[in-house]
Chains A and B, each alone.
Chain A
C-alpha cells in the first residue's frame, strides 16, 4: 500500500500461498491505514525515543498484530494466519521505518544502498548469535523460517528505526520475493541506472522473474525529490495486484515520487493505474 500524499508506504507479505496469508496481509494493511487516518492528537506514548509520526506508525503496526491475531482466533479457517510487514512513513524528511518479518527496507543515499531493516529470520538469528556468516546458507528447509511475524502471537516485538532523507535519496520497500532473487548489488545498480521509480520497479521485477522468481514480489520505490518550491511532480505509476482492492497510490505528495509494483506468479498484473 502507498499513500504517497502522506508519505506512507506499507508492504505486507502474507505467509506463503495460503488464502489466509492473503487475508492476513490485507488485514494488516487495513488496520495500519485505519490507525493512521484521522486524529493525531493524544496518540503515542510521550516517552518514545522516536518522533511522533514514527511512534504512531509503531503503534499502528502493533495494533494490526492484535487485530489479525484476534481475527485468527475467531475464525478457524484463518487460524494461524500471519504476515510480514515493512512500513515507512516519511514526514518532514524523516523516514520512520517499522518492520516485522523478512520484508525489507533500504535507503539509497549518497550512491550507496543501506539496509534499514534486519530480517526476523532464522538465518539472521544465526548470524547475530555468531553461528553463521552472511554468505553461508542454511539447509534449504530452514532458509524460509521466520522467527517473528504479525498475527501469530497476541503481542509482537516491532523493530523501528528513523533515518533522515535528503533530495536524491530513495527508499525501497520489498517483500522477500525480490531479495531472494535479486542481490543488493543489483538493487543498487537498478536505482543508479534508472533513477525513475517506476522504471526501477519494472526492472527489479523483471530481473527477479528472470532469475527464477516464483514467489509474489512487491516493490515500492520512493524517490525523495527537491522541496516543494522546485520540485516536479510526475505521475505516480503503479501496478497493483488483484488482491489489493484499494489502489491507494495517488500523486501529489509534496516531495516524494513513488512507484509500487506487485508481481505474482499466480495473478496477472493489472494495467497501470
Chain B
C-alpha cells in the first residue's frame, strides 16, 4: 500500500508537502513495515526520520504535514491528526482524503483480521452473476412471449411503466410488482385479482421456479432464465 499525493496511491494525501509516491506500507510475515520512497520531505515516525521502520501499535507517522497513527488492532481508525476533522456542529463529514484513508485502514484491518486466528471472517463479496428470472406467457393476450425480469422492480398492469402491459379499461393500473431482492424475486399484489398456483396472492411472496401467476386472466410462468435457455436448446 502506497501513500502519496498522486491518485494512484492507496492512501492519497493531496498536499504539496507530500511527494507523488511518498512512502509505502508492506506486510512481511507478521510485521508491518513502513518505507520511505525517497520522498522530498521525508517520512517520520514518532518525530524521527526513517527510511525503513517496523511499525508498532500507536506509532505516529508523519507524511508532509499529515500524521497517521498506526493502529495494530485497527478496529477504530484514528483521525488524521494533521488534518483535523472539520467540525460542523454535530455531524461531521469525512472528506475524500480522510475517506480514502479510512478505506485503507478498513481494508488493512480486514486483511489483518483474516490472518489472525480469532478473526471474524470478512464479509464475503458476491461475485457470482445474479440469476435472472423470466415470465413466460402461457395464456392470454400480451405483447411478448416472454419477459426478462432484469429491472429492480418489474410491474404488471395497465400502466405505461409496466413491463407486462395489460390491455383493457378495467385492468388495474398496477396489478403486481415483482421486485428483485438479492437472488430472489418477490411478488407483491397491488391491484385487481392475482392468483398464484390457483391461490389468491395476498401478501409478498418469493417466487419459485415454475410458479404460475394468473394476473387478471393473463397466465404467466415464473422461471429462471438459464433453465429457459436450456429448455429451448433441448
Check B155–A51 contact: CB distance below 8 A: yes
* CB neighbours of A145 from chain B (8 A): 85, 92-94
Q: Is A233 an interface residue (CB 8 A)?
A: no
Q: Is B80 an interface residue (CB 8 A)?
A: no
Check B90–A17 contact: CB distance below 8 A: yes
Least CB distance from B130 to A in Å reads 11
In the assembly, what is the distance between CA of A49 and CA of B150, in Å? Answer: 7
In the assembly, what is the distance between CA of A80 and CA of B86, in Å? Answer: 9
The chain A residue with its CB closest to the CB of B86 is: A80
The chain A residue with its CB closest to the CB of B75 is: A131
Stretch at the interface among A158-166, A187-195, A236-244: A158-166
In the assembly, what is the distance between CA of A48 and CA of B159, in Å? Answer: 18
Q: Is B206 an interface residue (CB 8 A)?
A: no
* CB neighbours of B153 from chain A (8 A): 50-51, 54, 94, 162, 164
In the assembly, what is the distance between CA of A92 and CA of B95, in Å? Answer: 38
Could you tell me which residues of chain B, from 139 to 164, have a CB within 8 Å of some CB in chain A?
150-153, 155, 157, 159, 161
B interface footprint on A78-101 (CB within 8 Å = 1, 0 otherwise): 001010100000001110000000
Least CB distance from B132 to A in Å reads 11
In the assembly, what is the distance between CA of A130 and CA of B112, in Å? Answer: 12
Least CB distance from A127 to B in Å reads 9
Q: Is A248 an interface residue (CB 8 A)?
A: no
The chain B residue with its CB closest to the CB of A161 is: B152
Given A129-B110, A130-B120, A166-B190, verify A50-B151 contact (CB < 8 Å): yes
Q: Is B33 an interface residue (CB 8 A)?
A: no
* CB neighbours of B204 from chain A (8 A): 109-110
In the assembly, what is the distance between CA of A139 and CA of B123, in Å? Answer: 23
Stretch at the interface among B8-16, B61-69, B173-181, B208-216: B173-181
* CB neighbours of B85 from chain A (8 A): 145
* CB neighbours of B131 from chain A (8 A): none
Least CB distance from B173 to A in Å reads 6
In the assembly, what is the distance between CA of A53 and CA of B174, in Å? Answer: 15
Residues of A in contact with B, size category: 35 or more
Check B88–A147 contact: CB distance below 8 A: no
Given A130-B120, A164-B179, verify A16-B87 contact (CB < 8 Å): yes
Partner of A82, one of B93, B113, B177, B188: B93
Could you tell me which residues of chain B, from 75 to 89, have a CB within 8 Å of some CB in chain A?
75-76, 79, 85-89
Check A131–B89 contact: CB distance below 8 A: no
Check B161–A92 contact: CB distance below 8 A: yes
In the assembly, what is the distance between CA of A126 and CA of B157, in Å? Answer: 42
In the assembly, what is the distance between CA of A84 and CA of B99, in Å? Answer: 17
B interface footprint on A60-89 (CB within 8 Å = 1, 0 otherwise): 000000000000000000001010100000
Question: Of B91, B94, B189, which is in contact with the most chain A CB atoms at under 10 Å from its CB?
Answer: B91
Check A164–B188 contact: CB distance below 8 A: yes
Check B113–A164 contact: CB distance below 8 A: no
* CB neighbours of B92 from chain A (8 A): 15-16, 144-146
Show 19 A/B contacts (Cβ-Cβ < 8 Å), sorted by A: A13-B91, A17-B90, A49-B150, A84-B91, A92-B157, A102-B91, A128-B123, A129-B107, A129-B110, A130-B120, A130-B121, A131-B110, A141-B79, A145-B92, A146-B92, A152-B95, A162-B179, A166-B189, A176-B91
Question: Which 7 A-B pairs give the minimum distances between C-beta atoms?
Answer: A16-B89, A17-B89, A164-B177, A16-B88, A164-B188, A15-B88, A129-B106
